[in-house]
Structure 1
């Protein structure tokens, strides 16, 4: 009976969270629904434990719970992602791309000016890039809730000094905030943002005060191109077919791993793909970061937040944050 009890308990807990995050209506309505869901689950556990007895009136509890579970799962499968919501300003538009040979034309590149999380200037831009001028890529990890969890971004550099950052993010509705737990329960859609560093990185280092680290990736030109185009491909897929964000299986780190596996199909799964704050350690262990340094040295030199917060009005953000980062050529900083 113990394995069956574990299934009932697990399904009961999952169903309670599913109702809390997805059932429409005020909190009290969701609370009532959760209580109504949990009662047959608890009664079933009591019967399976032998407390109620199969000959008592409680013997029907497992059948009632199975019926409730069928109804709940049927409702769950009706929940579909959509592009039709009132989105927050910073995810209101979706990236569009056109590629012809080496020329890439992007629409809806984000270049906001952030003074705080709620005070900003909205600016979306169309840009052209030459893939033949793609020369570097940097892995960035932004920490906001301890050492184990970080947001993962990849910034691409071009020979003319321009940089473009890709980030898989939740597509928040207006007034909505991120919830790691909600990310397990279809609470958010996914969006891939392409943005200027002075927008998507600076808002983390300066407006939010997050602890951000930058690591130069060890990629050949053909690999840079493949990863860059991989982001565009995923953005096109999401634009054509909305998808849910998932804290475990579809997040800002898993997309980097997925694209890295296109370069090295034998890359193994690792707990550091789930605990994204340790993803740079994973990249280091598999030779993706600059050689010749210990990981702690790379991490210490790559901590960019203090440099970012000390930037003056006439300083170049991208150049300043890279000063002293191993693998960054001096020519990039002039």
Structure 2
């Protein structure tokens, strides 16, 4: 029987060689985050049952904490990996002249999918141990996957296309970039600039209350088979509830509002952190910002702005006025925290619970 094999190696040619060796033997690979200490690696591998049997056709088990914080293993089959590679390559119009660069963490699907996509399509591939601006700019790559926090550190014009995942993209993102929406459970991004990839179905579930957004549901051949512990999150007819809320825009594109659990209810009003963050990001004294809810006896939750300032920190009054210029007053922050750096995941997503 095929088994789950740990792929505990930094990015580079050896990572690709080991992945192909595991697949050639009929086994499935579990990429291990190289930033974890040894004891954490052992706990993760035990939780994902590395060494135990997998089903024939399973290609990858990718660890994700999802919305619970507990590690889960997303099982992706070879068919799912192939479907993802083909759909993304068609959307990006990848040709024999292209060259992929993988520089994001390979234990996360955003970095790993660059490798598996290139292997499936036979596209030239360079794999780096991590983000290295000098090495990236010295490469011959035409295609690269980045996150918003790394984008300013490279010359975007050297690439034909930049695939942007992770947290919200900058308002002034380069014209040769595309934004993606997807989950570990979808094997990669499945919605590009608001438009689903070929073969991907998107539905919006009925909102819980009138005037609110509905949960995004996804269906397609690149979805996970199950979680490693045997729990299949998909419905009987193949839909994956994402836990993200969204809506269809008038032009037919999907707009992702945010995680259901991120919504702040303050004084009975619903506030989406992403909308407030987008407003505050335009403030001249704000270099980076995160918005979250803080428990409060009077309001239920307060809207808190965590700000990385530019040369001088803004005042709370200035930030409130800036938000109120385009949003209702209840969306303006009532508390300000100034920090040197925002807490983020390896793929640039904000850790609002930190």
TM range (shorter): under 0.3
Structure having the higher helix fraction is 1
Which one has more relative contact order, counting CA pairs under 8 Å at least 6 apart?
Answer: 1
- TM-score using structure 1 length: 0.24
Please say which structure displays the higher CA radius of gyration.
1
Structure having the higher strand fraction is 2
